[in-house]
Amino acid sequence: MRAMQVTAYDQPLSMQEVDIPTPKAGEVLVRIDTCGMNFGDTLMIKGTYQEKPPLPFTIGMELAGTVTEVGADVTSVTKGQRIAAYTGFGGLAEYAAVPAEICVPIPDEMSSVDAAAFLIAYGTSHVALDFKAGLKAGERLLVLGASGGVGLTAVELGKLMGAEVIACARGAEKLAVCKAAGADHLIDSETDDIRSIVKGLGGADVVYDPVGGDQFKAALRACNPEARLLPLGFASGEVPQIPANILLVKNLTVMGVYWGGYAKLRPSVLTDSFKTLFDWYVDGKLKPHVSNVLPLDRANDALDLLRTRKATGKVVVQTA
């Protein structure tokens, strides 16, 4: 089979011919249709992600496809079933052996492109906003990096959950995408003063932040008493140092969110979230925004769209 692999750190992916894996006990073999690309993939290529598989390896954290073979002791998944899975890596290939316990059935109403764009982006935002922050209707939610893969789903979910949503993104085109996703207020991160605008709107009750750096610092100072801040990543390249005195004076809570960690730490958090999210999708309440769909041999171009922040929402690679 074909697979786009990391053969050396900080170098472009290369197309390799590798053996189709054989599913072990508890695994299924999946013929991959689509793979959702994530900012974490760009870090994995550099060797700076929190998980570091041995070289060479195939990147691609989330995939969607059809089960073609079932390993021993598998009863929850059947041959011919369409599934999506968060695998951490391995999605940029034509086949993958996947633990049956992490396979999520794809509703008939959902396309393979939507399925590959769904798990991490919506799962991350829903767990962050619902399970971690306990976002309530009527609260004011500030979303940084709001036009990106996870940020845009936070805008959409925040609005669906009844919050007043402030979206912060770079440039008019990206802000228009945020507006279409349900944002009530827009902030241009290139030209606007985040702190003063958010305070002028009444302050933030919840801050959703995949960016870090100066934007986090500005958001921190625009928080209302008892606000909750959710660091999910540091796309700016700067991990902010949080002054404890500000947390103390305003009774603020900072909650780190590593969505993938719950796969081992507490899997029910993810499965419960997926049930809610897929129900919302089937009911027409969620609509994934995919700005680019590229073939497997253009996976490097897909990654460049993420690195250069030219994409909005998700970028998906079709492997079939």
**Mean per-residue pLDDT, 174-190:** 96
Which amino acid is it at 153? T
Q: What is the mean pLDDT of residues 11-18?
A: 96
pLDDT at 217 over 90: yes
State the Cα–Cα distance between residues 258 and 131, nearest whole angstrom: 12
Q: Is the pLDDT of residue 236 over 90?
A: no
Residues contacting residue 270 through CB under 8 Å, at least 6 positions apart:
86, 123, 127, 259, 262, 263
Give the CATH superfamily of 2-118+288-318. Medium-chain alcohol dehydrogenases, catalytic domain (3.90.180.10)
Say what the pLDDT of residue 49 is: 85
15 or 263: which leads in pLDDT: 15
CATH 3.90.180.10 in the chain: give the residue spans: 2-118+288-318
> At residue 245, what are phi and psi to the nearest 5 degrees?
-65, -35
pLDDT at site 267: 83
Q: What is the mean pLDDT of residues 186-206?
A: 97
The per-residue pLDDT for range 39-76, each reduced to its tens digit, is 889 999 999 887 889 999 999 999 999 999 999 999 99
Query: Residue 262: what pLDDT?
Result: 87
pLDDT in tens, 120-158: 999 999 999 999 999 999 999 999 999 998 999 999 999
Specify the pLDDT at position 265. Answer: 85
- The answer to whether the beta carbons of residues 278 and 107 sit under 8 Å apart is yes
Residues of the chain with CATH 3.40.50.720: 121-259
pLDDT of residue 263: 81
CATH superfamily of 121-259: NAD(P)-binding Rossmann-like Domain (3.40.50.720)
Average pLDDT over the chain, rounded to whole? 95
**Two tokens, residue 290:** 């995919």
Lowest mean pLDDT among 1-5, 14-18, 65-69, 234-238: 234-238
Going by pLDDT thresholds of 50, 70 and 90, the confidence category of residue 180 is: very high
Q: What's the per-residue H, E or C state across the chain?
A: CEEEEECCCCCCCEEEECCCCCCCCCEEEEEEEEEEECHHHHHHHHCCCCCCCCCCEECCCEEEEEEEEECCCCCCCCCCCEEEEECCCCCCECEEEEEHHHEEECCCCCCHHHHHCCHHHHHHHHHHHHHHCCCCCCCEEEEECCCCHHHHHHHHHHHHCCCEEEEEECCHHHHHHHHHCCCCEEEECCCCCHHHHHHHCCCEEEEEECCCHHHHHHHHCCEEEEEEEEECCCCCCCCCCCCHHHHHHHCCEECCCCHHHHHHHCHHHHHHHHHHHHHHHHCCCCCCCEEEEEEHHHHHHHHHHHHCCCCCEEEEEECC
Which of 19-41 are b and which e, b meaning 16 or more Cβ less than 10 Å from the residue's Cβ? eebebeeebbbbbbbbbbbbbbb
Q: pTM value? A: 0.88
* pLDDT tens, residue by residue, 85-131: 999 899 999 999 999 988 999 999 999 999 999 999 999 999 999 99
